[in-house]
Structure 1
Amino acid sequence: MMISYRLMQSRDVAGVFKVDQACFSHNWTEDSYQAETKNILSNYIVAEVDGEIIGFGGFWQVLDEAHITNIAVRETYRQTGVGQRIMNAMLALALEKGCVGMTLEVRGDNQPAINFYLKNKFTREGRRKDYYGTGMDGIIMWRYGLE
């Protein structure tokens, strides 16, 4: 099985949306992802096997910071390194574009995601109360230095 990693194109939106639907309960719309293909701040990496999108990750570049919007991998491909390779591609792209740091919010009860970010040299920097809805705080995480 050969997995390729590349920048998202508008033809990938339907596949990205399918992954979103399978992974998240507070989903973006297909139109949101289509808009991301035209957003000058937006940078998305897709993971693809035999023409099927199996994962993706994106960030918005705001000045010299990369703000992760989302990372998702289909359940059958989790724990295989796909998410890590998407993160590596995002870090490399952000560095190439002149970013000096990367940030995100993650649900406070999403320990697997928190562990993934900690493994990738992110640190907990704060909390956004009720960010994901009543009683669902967001943990603000940062990584300074992308090399």
Structure 2
Amino acid sequence: ADQNTTINDFVRHTCNRTHELKNLCLSQISSEPRNDLKSNLTGLLMIFVNHSISDFKNDISFLEKEINSNKISRDTKDMLEDCLQNFQIGSVNLQETMEILQTKTGYDAEQLPVTNVVNLAVECFDDFEGTPIPSEWQSRYNASFALLNLSLSMINLITCNRDYACIP
């Protein structure tokens, strides 16, 4: 299919409103085969949450592998274990978010579990101020975090649409 069929005006307009995440927004939506999700904010949110679910699965596998290797210091291992624990909880929260989006029409966007996942992701480094972050984990983490922020952007837009006074 022609690339333009997957990027409609609604998608382009919405991705423009995600500011610095615009290119990620467009590429995530382009790579999504389900065109039926590309016509409303909840659909776009489902695309991002779904992609986060697979990102998190890969992140969890990566962390388990790193933790079990003997290449890292004790501090780094402790940090990665914290991240692993938080990403495992986050993964469950993402699945729960998907279930709500698929089954409930009157969901409260601000109460979706995905909002908790962002906090979990940030907190995994909290106790490790001076500990160097392995570069491969840093780049995986950054990619996953940016994708989570796209979900938050959609939640903000959904909330703003319900509350007309809000300017995202």
TM-score normalised to structure 1 length: 0.29
Computing the radius of gyration from Cα coordinates, the structure with the larger value is: 2
Q: Which has the higher strand share?
A: 1
TM-score normalised to structure 2 length: 0.26
Q: Which has the higher helix share?
A: 2
Highest RCO, 1 vs 2 (Cα 8 Å, sep ≥ 6):
2
